[in-house]
């Protein structure tokens, strides 16, 4: 019987096969692999942590309860990201907000709430000044991402944050490859434009 340690060495298809056979550990392995990427994508799309958790939870429940419909010829990651992206897009449409609050969750009222719910930039081991610049630039980028159209946001997050191939992004978004490349190109142009105050 595959142990939890063995499962980590298996590919997604093998883990899914074990999950279909009834192994709870296989389900948890899938959760463990995709918990952060899926949550991060949804969080950056909807910009509300509590809502993102609900949507991520619904995504996983939907996926794990429908494993018997999963077709192994397609990548599992494409399937789960597709469902996650659709959940986020549906939520955005319900709220009829294409461009969201740049700082903090939409429901944030006080300065403390805005600070607490704003997406935080990464902190790397650079010099204090470089680290400050990096953190500020990262925060600016998070804000700029929030201003992108949902389709551009999905494309750029999957490409540059999650490191997915163009073909996989096309599968996730159910779009032609050319359209995906166009979206990513336009997203980068828009990000550059939003961040233009940082230029000479």
Partner 1 sequence: MADKQLDAGDLDLRVLRELTALRSFAPSRGFPDRVMARVRLPQPAALVLLRRAGAWAIQPRRAVTFATAYAASVAIALRLTLPWLSSHWSAVKLAVSWIGTQIGSLANTLALTGADWAVRSGVTDAVRTAAASGKMWPALAALSIGYAAGGYGFYVLLKAPGRTDALARS
Whether residue 151 contacts residue 169, with contact meaning beta carbons closer than 8 Å, is answered with no
- E-state strands within 77-183: none
Contacts with partner 1, 103-132, as mask; x by CB under 8 A: ----------------xxxx-x-------x
137 binds partner 1 (CB under 8 A): yes
> Using CB under 8 A, which of 89, 141, 165, 175 touches partner 1?
141
> Using CB under 8 A, which of 14, 17, 33, 40 touches partner 1?
40
Token pair listed for 126: 């650079």
Nearer to partner 1, 176 or 198 (CB): 198
Cα 2 to its chain centre, rounded Å, is 30
- Euclidean distance between CA atoms 111 and 14, whole angstroms: 48
24 binds partner 1 (CB under 8 A): yes
- Euclidean distance between CA atoms 75 and 26, whole angstroms: 17
185 binds partner 1 (CB under 8 A): no
- Euclidean distance between CA atoms 36 and 52, whole angstroms: 11
In order, the DSSP letters of 114-128 are HHHHSPPPP--S--H
Question: Which residues contact partner 1 by CB under 8 A?
Answer: 1, 3-4, 20-25, 27-28, 31-32, 35-37, 39-40, 43, 49, 52-53, 56-57, 60-61, 64-65, 68, 119-122, 124, 132-134, 136-138, 141-142, 156, 160-161, 163, 188, 191-192, 195-200
């Amino acid at each position: 019987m595959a142990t939890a340690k063995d499962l980590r060495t298996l590919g997604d298809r093998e883990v899914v096969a074990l999950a279909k056979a009834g192994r709870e550990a296989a389900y948890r392995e899938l959760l463990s692999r995709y918990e952060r990427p899926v949550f991060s994508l949804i969080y950056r799309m909807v910009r509300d942590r509590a809502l993102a958790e609900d949507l991520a939870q619904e995504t996983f429940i939907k996926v794990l309860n429908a494993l018997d419909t999963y077709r192994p010829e397609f990548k599992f990651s494409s399937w789960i990201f597709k469902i996650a992206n659709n959940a986020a897009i549906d939520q955005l449409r319900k709220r009829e907000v294409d461009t969201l609050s740049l700082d903090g969750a939409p429901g944030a009222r006080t300065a403390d709430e805005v600070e607490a719910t704003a997406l935080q930039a990464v902190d790397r081991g650079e010099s204090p000044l470089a680290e400050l610049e990096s953190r500020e630039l990262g925060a600016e980028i998070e804000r700029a991402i929030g201003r992108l159209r949902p389709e551009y946001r999905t494309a750029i997050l999957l490409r540059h944050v999650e490191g997915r191939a163009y073909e996989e992004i096309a599968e996730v978004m159910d779009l032609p490859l050319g359209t995906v490349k166009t979206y990513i190109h336009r997203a980068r142009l828009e990000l550059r434009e939003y961040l233009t105050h940082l230029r000479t």
